[in-house]
Structure 1
Amino acid sequence: MANTRLYLAPLLLVAVVLLSSKTMAQPAAPAPGPAGPINLTAILEKGGQFTTFIHLLNITQVGAQVNIQVNSSSEGMTVFAPTDNAFQNLKPGTLNKLSSDEQVKLILYHVSPKFYSMDDLLSVSNPVRTQASGRDNGIYGLNFTGTANQVNVSTGYVETRVSNALRDKRPLAVYVVDMVLLPGEMFGEHKLSPVAPAPKSPASGVSDDDKSTKKAAAPSDKSGSGEMKVGLGFGLGLVVMCLKFLF
């Protein structure tokens, strides 16, 4: 029994050494690295129904501006993303007739330079500033109303529901909206119309220039008629005087 223990002792020592060296040889698990920068386009692409909005963010360069600002600002940002159906429901010609500057304003109007949770939107002081606010001395603000179960956003021209959130963590919140937020400053009364005006009917066959010409010509006709009446009156007077002398 003693001899067996003498033989086992060296073997146990070798096993302990091997296990210790194997444990030390294994590298430690790497620590998780810092999260990458926030990318608005990637968030929208993951949502899967924002192709038109992504296109407009790219051509106006508003998307790049948001990515830079949201990764450097302490205030954060909030984006209201219209779905592809929202753009399809616009009247024909609404986007095509906008100038490049007006397209930029429209997309900036969907971005607020501050992070708002859904609860914040219910208690916020209206109107809420957007990235378009202050341009050309316009307000370009959004108004929020609703209850705990539903939040509505109004532009003064259209009103729709703020739907689910694609992201709601600081510093960026991205909310889905079912309508394109058309600002009242651009599409309200006496402003741009969301549809091109109908062409004038040619049924009358008379242009404005023709009407003006006829109006201008009318007094001369009346004047000629008056001169004729005066001439006739003068001739009749001479006849009467001649008859008096004869008789």
Structure 2
Amino acid sequence: MNATTLAAPSPAAAPPQHFPTPPSTAPTNTPDIENILKQANSFSMFLRLMKTTQLINQLNSQLATIKSGGVTLLAPDDGAFSQLKPGFLNSLSDAKKLQLLQFHVLPDFVSTANFDTLTNPVRTLAGNKPGKLELNVVSYGGVVNISTGEVNTTLNGVVYSDNHLAIYRVGKVLLPQEFFPPKKVIAPAPAPKSAAEVMEAPAPKPDKEKPLPSSRGNSSEPSSSQVVPVQTSGCLRFGVSSLLVLGLVFVQVANLIV
């Protein structure tokens, strides 16, 4: 009897395991305005207003989807905000605070070399209404001057700059004219006259006396105070002359008799 040896079956091959592929973690090149201002460490007030008005979210979303162009921020530092009158920011409504911040944002990327190509008034996110939201920029010799009609200041350095976002430090908060009532022009008071001018001034001429009206109410009749000329008639003059001639004849006759 032959014994048959059975070979032990080989173990089945384990199925291959599939591990999920982790998502791609490629770094993004989109700048974040909040992180940039925090790292600068001197824009806490400006950053707080940007977050309160939610303007920072709008700008970051715009930068994340932008293909061309960009945004330019004129950022006042904490020292600039300390120059404002006490209570000024608290006196502004939420809409005015947003408008104030929009006045610090140019809707285009402007490099330091391109400020001299801007056309005044420069358009901001708040608009460029003449005499209201007017921002004028003058660049000369590497110095960039900014004027709003209420504030004059300069760019004091670059905080951040790439191909789409530029943030510049400005020395003052840019206050638009629209936030302030028009200034009243007061005419200067006339200068007092000197003593010499008073002495040299001619005395006023008296008014001409007018004839008093007649008590009878007839303006054509002379009043009692007026002198009425008396006219001598021709007959009276002839009579007087005749008497004089007769008198002379009588005297000559008397002399002859004597």
Indicate the TM-score class for this superposition, using the shorter chain for normalisation: 0.5 to 0.7
Given candidates 59, 74, 77, the residue that maps to 2:71 is 77
Residue 107 of structure 2: aligned partner? 113
Residue 66 of structure 1: aligned partner? 59
Task: Please give the root-mean-square deviation of Cα atoms over the aligned residues, in Å.
Answer: 2.4
Residue 153 of structure 1: aligned partner? 146
* 1:167 CA drift (Å): 1.3
TM-score (norm 2): 0.57
The 1:182/1:72 distance shift into structure 2, 3 A limit, reads same
d(CA) in 2 for partners of 1:138 and 1:105?
Answer: 15
Residue 99 of structure 1: aligned partner? 93
Residue 33 of structure 2: aligned partner? 40
List alignment gaps of at least 5 residues for structure 1: 1-31, 192-247
Contact 2:122 2:128 in 1 (8 A): no
d(CA) in 2 for partners of 1:54 and 1:107?
Answer: 10
* 1:123 CA drift (Å): 2.1
**Counterpart code for 2:175:** L
* 1:190 CA drift (Å): 5.3
1:117-156 mapped onto 2 (5 Å cutoff):
117-133=111-127, 140-156=133-149
Q: 3-state DSSP class of the match of 1:96?
A: helix
1:149-188 mapped onto 2 (5 Å cutoff):
149-187=142-180
* 1:188 CA drift (Å): 5.7
- Which of structure 1's runs of 4+ aligned residues deviate more than 4 A? none
Which gives a bigger RCO, structure 1 or 2 (Cα 8 Å, sep 6+)?
1
d(CA) in 1 for partners of 2:160 and 2:111?
Answer: 10
- Matched residues, number: 160
**Residues 67-106 of structure 1: per-residue CA shift (max 9 Å, x gap):** 1112223220000110001001111111110011000100
The 1:138/1:150 distance shift into structure 2, 3 A limit, reads closer
**Residues 183-237 of structure 1: per-residue CA shift (max 9 Å, x gap):** 112236259xxxxxxxxxxxxxxxxxxxxxxxxxxxxxxxxxxxxxxxxxxxxxx
Higher-Rg structure is 2
**Residues 131-151 of structure 1: per-residue CA shift (max 9 Å, x gap):** 11179x986242111313211
List alignment gaps of at least 5 residues for structure 2: 1-24, 185-258
Residue 252 of structure 2: aligned partner? none
Contact 2:132 2:177 in 1 (8 A): no
Decide which structure has greater helix share. 1
d(CA) in 1 for partners of 2:128 and 2:135?
Answer: 13
Identical residues among aligned pairs (%): 38
Q: 3-state DSSP class of the match of 2:35?
A: helix
